[in-house]
Amino acid sequence: MSVNLLGTKIGMTQVFNNNGTCIPVTVLKVGPCMITQIKTIHSDGYNSIQLGYAQISSHLLTKPQLGHLNKSHAPALKYLREYRNNNSQEFHLGQVMTVNQIKVGDKINIQGNSIGKGFSGYQKRHNFSRGPMSHGCKNHRQPGSIGAGTTPGRVFPGKKMAGRLGNHTTTIKNMVVIDINADQNLMLVKGSVPGKPGAIISIQSR
């Protein structure tokens, strides 16, 4: 059974295993999450569960949002995320999902928004090579030709040019769980995770 959870990225550090090898890890605060809705084929046409995460003050939500959460007797939750799950009959409304659902050594997929880097040029955004730096050359970091002239007489969509870099949904697959602290809802995973510290991340076990 696949397990889905929501969490927050805390930051990066390093740990040492029994062999003395240094392992770079990312610290994640995972859950607790509450199941706020269960969808089935008979009621909605597909199977899925909806998780809520991060309790906040009720005055920060609208009445329709609070009414939706009251159906599962859930508190005011800031984030709601829906996951497809063919085993939705194994869950029930109001069930609390914690980091205990995952074990050390498991491989998980982590999804989050990458760090936004603003408007970026060609070299940094698409790894283009620069022009000659010799005297007299005036094409150091310029794009060069971007298309033919009379035919087709336009620039094709999708041309690699300067623009916004980062801030898009990124999924890192097969990340290994190094350690779990169930008391503080913390989890260590090997490698880096998309987003800045404090960013919301989505976890899916395989």
Ranges of each domain in the chain:
4-126+159-205
Summarize pLDDT for 154-201 with one digit per residue, the tens.
999 999 999 999 999 999 999 999 999 989 999 999 999 999 999 999
Please indicate whether residue 2 or residue 180 has the higher confidence score (pLDDT): 180
Q: Which helix (H) or strand (E) holds 34?
A: strand 33-39
pTM (2 decimals)? 0.82
Largest CA distance in the chain: 73
Q: What is the pLDDT of residues 111-124, one digit of tens each?
A: 999 999 999 999 99
* Section 11-33 average pLDDT: 92
CATH number of 4-126+159-205: 2.40.30.10
Total count of residues recorded for the chain: 206
For 35-86, write each residue's pLDDT tens digit.
999 988 888 888 889 999 999 999 999 999 999 999 888 999 999 999 888 8
